[in-house]
Amino acid sequence: MLTTEARQKILAENEAAAAELRERFAREGTLVVDLISSPGSGKTALLEATAKKLAGSLRIACVVGDIATERDADRLRAAGLPSRQITTGGACHLEARNIRDALAAARFGPLDILFIENVGNLVCPASFALGEDFKIVLLSVTEGHDKPFKYPGIFSRASVALITKSDLLPYVSFDVERVRGEITTLRPNARVLLTSVVDEKGLESWCDLLRSALIEKRDVPATA
């Protein structure tokens, strides 16, 4: 187990690398979004649907983190989303250096939006900055409605919460308003969207949010 001092050193080194990435993305005008959820909440499916919605209008790519295999990156490439897989070999989160190295290897070229599909985990990824503009947390209706207060770290850090697989609401016990209430208690200004890639509920609102965030970022001058 890491000592407090060792953990603080790791976080400080990561923050320094994240700050360099943040400056780079600001100069390049690239919006960077870090998607975090439990395994199976629908990150990859959301990105597949997002790629189809934004195809031809924005230059987008993805860095994908998984313990093993390139399955998610393969799915995203098949959906038309250029992707670079990071296999962590057991690490439960991505770090800023992983993103830096993946971008150097991928050579995506100029981008409007870079998505980061983090390793499936609601705990560790919350603590590690990756140079992102904001974190997105996904919670599927099949996971139950008690998660926000059980995992306050990510739900208090995420600017946007997506309640996914809403097409399954008739078949599961999931209190949408309770979840909304817990999320906004932890982060009062959080955006909460109900989404489904099956019936496309909420997907246009999600894409509008991304477009607006990109415009807002580019309206703010980058520091030299």
Residues 9, 4: Cα–Cα separation, whole Å: 9
Cβ 95 vs Cβ 14: under 8 Å = yes
User: Which tokens belong to 159?
Assistant: 């600017």
Q: What are phi and psi of 23, to 5 degrees?
A: -65, -40
pLDDT tens for each residue of 187-201: 999 999 999 999 999
Percent of the chain past pLDDT 90, that is, above it, reads 93
Q: Structure pTM?
A: 0.94
Query: 85-126, pLDDT tens digit by residue?
Result: 999 998 999 999 999 999 999 999 999 999 999 999 999 999
Residues 6+ apart with CB under 8 A from 207: 50, 53, 54
Other CB atoms within 10 Å distance of the CB of residue 210: 21
Angle between helices 43-54 and 71-78 (to 10 degrees): 20
Q: What is the pLDDT of residue 223?
A: 53
**pLDDT tens, 202-218?**
999 999 999 999 999 99
From the list 81, 112, 108, the residue with the least C-alpha distance to 212 is: 112
CA–CA dist 34, 101 (Å, integer):
16
CATH number of 18-213: 3.40.50.300
**Span 48-66, mean pLDDT?**
98
Domain ranges of the chain: 18-213
Over 80: is that where the pLDDT of 127 sits? yes
